[in-house]
Every structure is written in C-alpha cells, then in structure tokens.
C-alpha cells in the first residue's frame, strides 16, 4: 500500500526500563493522527522510535512496506520530517533554517526549484519580515511557524511533530493547528502529532491514538471517541459532548444542572 506507515509489535527498552510494549498501528496518507495520554505514557518515545533516534528491540516499522531496520537514520530521515520539542539556542537566521532544511532533501547545492519552494513557503507562512532575524529573537509562535515551515519544505512522506503548540497562546495554537491540518491534506503525507490539549486534539485530529502505560489502549476516529475512553485513559471523571463538530470536554469534576448538548459528528 502506498504511503502507509505500519508499526508492528514495537517494543522499546533502555537498560531495564520498558518504554513501549506491543505497539501496533497502521497510519494512512492524508490523516492527522494525534497522540494523547498521561505523562510518561510513551508518547515522545514512540515518535523517537519511528525516526530511529531510539532503537527498537522487537517488532518493526515499515513505510510503504519497506522496513526501517534495513535503512540507516539518514535514509529514514530523508522520508520523515521530525519537529522535536526544542529550547536549544541557535546562531541561525530564519532564512538559514529554511535553506538548511531544504538541503536535507536536495543536497548541499540548492537549485532554482528549491529556491522557488522556499520563496513559496515564506509567503504561505508569512515569514517575510523575519527572514534576517536570528531564530532566538522570535516569539514562541513565530519560532514554531518557522520550524513547521522548515519541516514541510523537506517534502516528507511522514511529518512528525512533538507538542508543536506547547507554550503558545490560544490564537497561535489555532493558527498552527489550522496550518498542520491543511498541509496534511494538501500534501497528502502522514502526520503524527503529540498534543496535551484534548479539545484541540479531538477537533483537529482525523484519528486519535491513546497511549497509557507504554501501550496503545485505543485508536479511533476522533468523532468516535467517548467520555468513557477518556476517563479510562486519564483515570479521572470525564464528560464529552459534541455540538456542530466541536468537542466540549469537562474533566475531573461534575456540576448538577449540566446542559446536555446534542451529539453531532459534523467536522
């Protein structure tokens, strides 16, 4: 199958600590897959296993039926763009970041086509006024947009984002997620994203991956997620309602006189 990422019986262990156990997934092109789960569940570990930052001891990961075991990290990274959680300092300007990211795909010397792609993504992401600024001088939202543009410009088959909206205000969160959702559909790649904001996860995700205690306990279309699944995932009371395709989530406590919304699956 084309543009399918298969994760089969993956087991990850460091020293005597199990980080992932019996993970199985089949992810399709054009889908935004969002991983949710409590702290320490293995969310970031799963992303790092996919991009070969962490070795898997058992199982396999295949893209288009080709095993990652047969490929080195450079071969894997040529097909996957990975945007990690990062607070590292950099000496690079925004344009340098974009050009370096494109070189990962094209090689050291960029072609006219490469520069056209860079110019197009600068316009699409509204980065014109930042190009000659040091990346460390930008706001959190601006930095995240640059890093997302740098990942997408690699033309990946798989885009992996580890908490891309952490530390962003609501306006920037929505802007980032709108871009991620739109580009996933337009570019038809497989996108895997870790989020802690459950309402955003349910609203933007095509599929929801639930991780708990190093295992996947559920993998569903977002509109099929219910209160019981979330309560079990986080071990707290949960009420989930849908109204006109928007999730409304109440965690950890209950009120009498709670208004009941009509359940709608319009997204």
Strands 80-83 and 238-243: unpaired
- Span 179-185, mean pLDDT? 95
Burial 164-202 (b: 16+ CB within 10 A, else e): bbeebeeebbebbbebbbebbeeeebbbbbbbebbebbb
pLDDT of residue 87: 58
Strands 4-14 and 58-63: antiparallel
pLDDT digits (tens, 9 = 90+) for 103-130: 887 778 899 999 999 999 999 999 999 9
Is 53's pLDDT higher than 80?
Answer: yes
Chain mean pLDDT for the chain = 89
- Span 168-179, mean pLDDT? 91
- Span 6-32, mean pLDDT? 95
Is 72's pLDDT higher than 90?
Answer: no
Are 180 and 193 within 8 A, CB to CB?
yes
pLDDT of residue 213: 95
Alpha-carbon distance 148 to 144, whole Å? 6
Global pTM value:
0.89
Q: How confident is the model at residue 262 (pLDDT cuts 50, 70, 90)?
A: very low
Q: Residues near 29 by Cβ (< 8 Å), separated by ≥ 6?
A: 2, 3, 4, 157, 188, 189, 190
pLDDT of residue 264: 46
Question: Of the given ranges (22-36, 76-90, 93-107), which has the lowest mean pLDDT?
Answer: 76-90
Structure token digits, residue 128: 């014109």
- Span 215-243, mean pLDDT? 94
Is 86's pLDDT higher than 90?
Answer: no
Domains of the chain with CATH codes: 1-79+156-236 (3.40.50.300), 91-155 (no CATH)
Alpha-carbon distance 235 to 237, whole Å? 7
Is 146's pLDDT higher than 50?
Answer: yes
């Amino acid at each position: 199958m084309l543009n399918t990422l298969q994760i089969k019986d993956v087991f990850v262990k460091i020293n005597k600590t199990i980080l992932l156990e019996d993970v199985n997934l089949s992810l399709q092109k054009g889908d935004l897959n969002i991983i949710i789960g409590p702290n320490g569940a293995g969310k970031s570990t799963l992303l790092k296993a996919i991009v070969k930052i962490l070795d898997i001891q058992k199982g396999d990961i295949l893209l288009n039926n080709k095993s990652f075991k047969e490929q080195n990290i450079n071969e894997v990274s040529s097909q996957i763009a990975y945007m990690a959680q990062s607070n590292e300092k950099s000496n690079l300007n925004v344009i340098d970041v974009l050009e370096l990211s494109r070189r990962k795909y094209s090689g050291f010397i960029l072609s006219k086509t490469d520069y056209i792609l860079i110019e197009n993504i600068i316009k699409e992401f509204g980065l014109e006024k930042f190009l000659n600024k040091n990346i460390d001088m930008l706001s959190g939202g601006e930095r995240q947009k640059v890093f997302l543009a740098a990942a997408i410009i690699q033309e990946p088959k798989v885009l992996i984002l580890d908490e891309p909206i952490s530390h962003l205000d609501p306006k920037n969160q929505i802007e980032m997620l709108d871009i991620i959702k739109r580009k996933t559909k337009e570019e038809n790649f497989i996108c895997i994203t870790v989020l802690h904001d459950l309402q955003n996860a349910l609203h933007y995700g095509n599929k929801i991956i639930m991780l708990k205690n190093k295992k996947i306990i559920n993998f569903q279309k977002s509109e099929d997620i219910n209160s019981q699944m979330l309560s079990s995932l986080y071990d707290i009371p949960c009420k989930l309602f849908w109204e006109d395709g928007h999730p409304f989530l109440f965690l950890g406590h209950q009120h009498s006189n709670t208004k009941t919304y009509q359940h709608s699956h319009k997204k």
